[in-house]
C-alpha cells in the first residue's frame, strides 16, 4: 500500500470509528423525544455500510491471525463511548498541568 493509500485507509477507519460511536450513542438517547430519530440512525448506518464496501478489499487482505487490528478499532470505539463529556473536553488540558 502506498503512503497516500495508507493515509486514506486510516482516515476512513477513523471515520468508521466515529460513525460506530454515533450509532452506539444514538442507542443511549432512545428515550429523548424529538432528538432520537430512526431516520438519522438509518442514514448513519447506511453511510457506515458504504464505507465498509470501500474498505472491504483492504480488510480482506488483512490476515485473520491479525485480529488485533479489529480489536484495536473496537477499543477505540469503547474508549470514546466510555468517556464523559468532561473527559473528552479536558483531555488535552490534563496533560499540560
pLDDT single digits (tens) 26-43: 888 888 877 778 888 888
SS3 category, 97: coil
pLDDT of 97 strictly over 60: no
Task: Kindly report the three-state secondary structure assignment for every residue of 9-77.
Answer: HHHHHHHHHHHHHHHHHHHHCCCCCCCCCHHHHHHHHHHHHHHHHHHHHHHHCCCHHHCHHHHHHHHHH
Model confidence at 65, in pLDDT bands (50, 70, 90)? low
Which triple of cell numbers denotes residue 80?
470514546
SS3 category, 82: coil
From the list 67, 65, 69, the residue with the least C-alpha distance to 9 is 69
Report the alpha-carbon distance of residue 64 to residue 88 in Å, rounded: 33
The pLDDT of residue 96 is 47
Query: What length does the chain have?
Result: 97
Pick the residue with more confidence: 61 or 8? Answer: 8
pLDDT of 95 strictly over 80: no
Least confident segment among 11-15, 58-62, 74-78: 58-62
Pick the residue with more confidence: 10 or 69? Answer: 10
pLDDT of 59 strictly over 80: no
Amino acid at each position: 500500500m502506498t503512503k497516500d493509500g495508507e493515509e486514506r485507509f486510516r482516515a476512513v477507519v477513523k471515520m468508521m470509528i466515529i460513525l460506530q460511536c454515533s450509532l452506539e450513542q444514538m442507542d443511549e438517547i432512545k428515550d429523548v423525544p424529538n432528538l432520537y430519530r430512526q431516520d438519522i440512525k438509518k442514514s448513519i448506518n447506511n453511510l457506515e455500510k458504504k464505507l465498509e464496501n470501500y474498505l472491504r478489499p483492504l480488510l480482506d487482505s488483512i490476515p485473520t491471525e491479525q485480529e488485533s487490528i479489529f480489536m484495536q478499532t473496537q477499543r477505540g470505539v469503547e474508549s470514546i463511548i466510555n468517556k464523559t463529556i468532561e473527559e473528552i473536553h479536558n483531555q488535552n488540558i490534563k496533560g499540560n498541568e
